[in-house]
C-alpha cells in the first residue's frame, strides 16, 4: 500500500464523516494515552497516544468516528539502518452504537478497524539519501482492530480504547 492509496482512504473516510456530520449533534473530540509494552530490540516502548472524534446521529442510535494513534512498532530499514525500532502509527475508523442516553449523559461503544504501518525498507544509499537512487521505501501495513467505550456527561467524555497494540484511557470534550 503506497501513500496515494493511504490518502485516498483518508479522503474517503473524511467524506463519509462529513456527510454523516450533517445529520449529527455536536461531535466529541478526544485524546488518549496508555502504558507502553516493555521495549526490546524489536518492540517500541513509546507511550501509546491517540487523537480522534466521535459523531452521533440525532435520529439514530449509531455513532461513527475516526482516530489516529501512535501505537505499536515500525521496523525501519532506511537511512542506512537495519530494523531500527520506531513508533508505529495507525489510522482507524470507529463504527458503533449508543447503549443508553439520558438528558445529560450517554454511553457509546464502537468497533475500531484500521491499519498501521509495520515496516519500511529499501536498498541502501551510499550518497546520503534515504534509499538507493532516492527511491521511495517499500512499506508494509498490518490490520488494526479494537474497541472504544465512552461515557459522556454534559460536555466531558471519558472512556477506554483497547486495540491489539495498546490500551488507553480517553478524555474528550463536546465541540
Rg of the chain taking only CA atoms, in angstroms? 18
pLDDT digits (tens, 9 = 90+) for 138-168: 999 999 999 999 999 999 999 999 999 999 9
Q: Cα torsion at 148, 149, 153, 155 (round to 10°)?
A: 0
pLDDT digits (tens, 9 = 90+) for 12-30: 555 444 444 444 456 899 9
Q: How far apart are CA 52 and CA 161, in angstroms?
A: 11
The residue-averaged pLDDT of 66-77 equals 94
Mean pLDDT of the chain: 86
User: CA dist 112 to 16, 33, 125, 166, Å?
Assistant: 16, 16, 38, 12
Q: Domain locations in the chain?
A: 3-174
Q: Give the CATH fold of the 3-174 domain.
A: Porin (2.40.160)
Mode of pairing for the β-strands spanning 49-56 and 84-101: unpaired
Q: How far apart are CA 85 and CA 119, in angstroms?
A: 10
Amino acid at each position: 500500500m503506497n501513500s496515494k492509496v493511504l490518502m485516498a482512504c483518508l479522503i474517503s473516510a473524511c467524506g463519509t464523516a462529513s456527510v454523516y456530520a450533517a445529520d449529527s449533534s455536536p461531535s466529541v473530540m478526544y485524546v488518549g494515552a496508555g502504558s507502553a509494552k516493555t521495549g526490546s530490540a524489536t518492540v517500541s516502548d513509546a507511550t501509546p497516544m491517540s487523537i480522534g472524534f466521535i459523531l452521533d446521529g440525532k435520529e439514530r442510535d449509531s455513532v461513527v468516528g475516526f482516530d489516529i494513534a501512535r501505537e505499536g512498532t515500525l521496523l525501519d530499514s532506511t537511512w542506512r539502518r537495519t530494523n531500527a525500532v520506531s513508533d508505529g502509527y495507525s489510522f482507524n475508523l470507529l463504527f458503533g452504537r449508543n447503549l443508553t442516553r439520558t438528558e445529560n449523559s450517554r454511553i457509546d461503544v464502537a468497533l475500531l478497524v484500521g491499519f498501521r504501518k509495520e515496516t519500511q525498507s529499501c536498498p541502501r544509499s551510499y550518497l546520503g539519501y534515504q534509499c538507493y537512487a532516492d527511491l521511495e521505501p517499500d512499506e508494509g501495513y498490518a490490520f488494526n482492530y479494537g474497541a472504544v467505550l465512552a461515557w459522556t456527561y454534559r460536555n466531558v467524555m471519558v472512556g477506554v480504547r483497547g486495540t491489539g497494540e495498546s490500551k488507553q484511557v480517553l478524555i474528550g470534550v463536546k465541540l
